[in-house]
């Protein structure tokens, strides 16, 4: 990966909707080699996808919670069962497996405290292998998502 590939990645992280012509102009390439580079970045898995960034509050998901999960055990069966089940919980929008404690950090997006309480009782609290669930409510997202430094 050279400086031009990194420039392409920086620009696409800022605006994934840039046309190939606009992107090529900004990185000082002609459109054909620029498109070849983008396709190569996609095919090699450097670029893993494109998506719209949605305002959570505008779609009724502005109540953000970080949930910290500790499992009863660390055996493969427990971990696999938990991970399979948590992937099915729509309100969990991000799940990170951690070294040490907690075992997992979940980012949850719901409408309000009542919805989160219901989610804990009906789904999160019933996840297989769950030993402990603690939560912290985010007051403000200062740097949501973010771009990778290139």
- pLDDT tens column, 51-94: 888 899 999 999 999 999 999 999 999 999 999 999 999 999 99
Note the pLDDT of residue 31.
97
Note the pLDDT of residue 87.
98
CATH of the domain at 11: 1.10.10.10
Answer yes or no: are the C-beta atoms of 80 and 74 closer than 8 Å.
no
In angstroms, rounded to a whole number, what is the distance separating the alpha carbons of residues 91 and 106? Answer: 10
> Is 20 contained in some domain?
yes
Same domain (yes/no): 70, 102: yes
Q: What angle do CA 39, 40, 41 make, to 5 degrees?
A: 90
Answer yes or no: are the C-beta atoms of 10 and 147 closer than 8 Å.
yes
Same domain (yes/no): 25, 72: no
97 bridge partner residues: 104
Same domain (yes/no): 39, 63: no
Same domain (yes/no): 131, 63: yes
Q: What share of the chain has pLDDT > 70, as a percent?
A: 100
Q: What share of the chain has pLDDT > 90, as a percent?
A: 87
Does the pLDDT at position 136 exceed 80? yes
Upper half-sphere CA count for residue 106 (Cβ side, 13 Å)? 30
How many other CB atoms sit within 10 Å of the CB of residue 93? 14
In angstroms, rounded to a whole number, what is the distance separating the alpha carbons of residues 14 and 22? Answer: 13
> Is 146 contained in some domain?
no
In angstroms, rounded to a whole number, what is the distance separating the alpha carbons of residues 86 and 106? Answer: 9
DSSP state for residue 60 in the 8-state scheme = T
What is the extent of the structural domain holding 121? Answer: 57-137
95 bridge partner residues: 106
Does the pLDDT at position 141 exceed 90? no
Give residue 46's pLDDT band: very low, low, confident or very high (50, 70, 90).
very high
53 bridge partner residues: none
């Amino acid at each position: 990966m050279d400086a031009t590939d990194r420039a392409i990645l920086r620009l696409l992280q800022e605006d994934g909707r840039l046309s190939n012509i606009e992107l090529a102009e900004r990185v000082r390439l002609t459109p054909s080699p620029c498109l070849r580079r983008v396709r190569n970045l996609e095919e090699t898995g450097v670029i893993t996808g494109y998506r719209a960034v949605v305002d959570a509050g505008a779609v009724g998901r502005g109540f953000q919670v970080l949930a910290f999960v500790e499992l009863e055990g660390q055996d493969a069966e427990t971990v696999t069962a938990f991970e399979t089940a948590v992937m099915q919980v729509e309100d969990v929008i991000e799940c990170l497996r951690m070294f040490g404690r907690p075992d997992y950090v979940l980012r949850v997006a719901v409408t309000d405290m009542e919805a989160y309480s219901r989610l804990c009782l009906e789904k999160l609290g019933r996840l297989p292998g769950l030993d402990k669930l603690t939560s912290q409510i985010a007051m403000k997202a200062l740097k949501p998502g973010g771009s990778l430094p290139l």
